């Protein structure tokens, strides 16, 4: 859920309206692959927990399911470069 909040606040840094536009149009091929993983997979997992109503039995997301640290590391590096221009 925190990751989803982060990607909602990042597009203006790169002068994009939303993260989908950013992930489709910024950077090279490899960077776009990392960003699309955040846009599609991370957003989907977060949405599943944010928009579903509680059930009688729940399973919490595990570390593997929510580990997008490599993609976020790539993104944070690019943010640092952009803000230091």
Q: How far is CA 24 from CA 11, 17, 34, 51, 66, in A?
A: 12, 12, 11, 25, 22
pLDDT at 60 over 90: no
Q: Is 22 helix (H, G, I), strand (E, B) or coil?
A: helix
- Give the pTM: 0.85
Q: pLDDT by residue (tens digit) across 7-50?
A: 999 999 999 999 999 999 999 999 999 999 999 999 999 888 88
Q: Let me know: does 26 contact 36? Beta carbons within 8 Å.
A: no
Instruction: Report which DSSP code applies to 72.
Output: H
Q: What is the pLDDT of residue 48?
A: 85
User: What are the sequence ranges of the domains in the chain?
Assistant: 2-83
Q: How far is CA 34 from CA 44, 60, 69, in A?
A: 15, 25, 11
Q: pLDDT by residue (tens digit) across 61-81?
A: 889 989 999 999 999 999 999
């Amino acid at each position: 859920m925190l990751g989803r909040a982060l990607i909602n606040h990042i597009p203006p840094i790169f002068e994009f309206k939303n993260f989908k536009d950013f992930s489709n149009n910024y950077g090279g091929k490899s960077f776009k692959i990392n960003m699309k993983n955040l846009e599609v997979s991370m957003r989907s997992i977060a949405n599943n927990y944010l928009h579903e109503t509680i059930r009688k039995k729940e399973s919490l997301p595990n570390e593997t399911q929510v580990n997008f640290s490599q993609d976020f590391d790539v993104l944070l590096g690019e943010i640092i470069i952009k803000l230091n221009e």
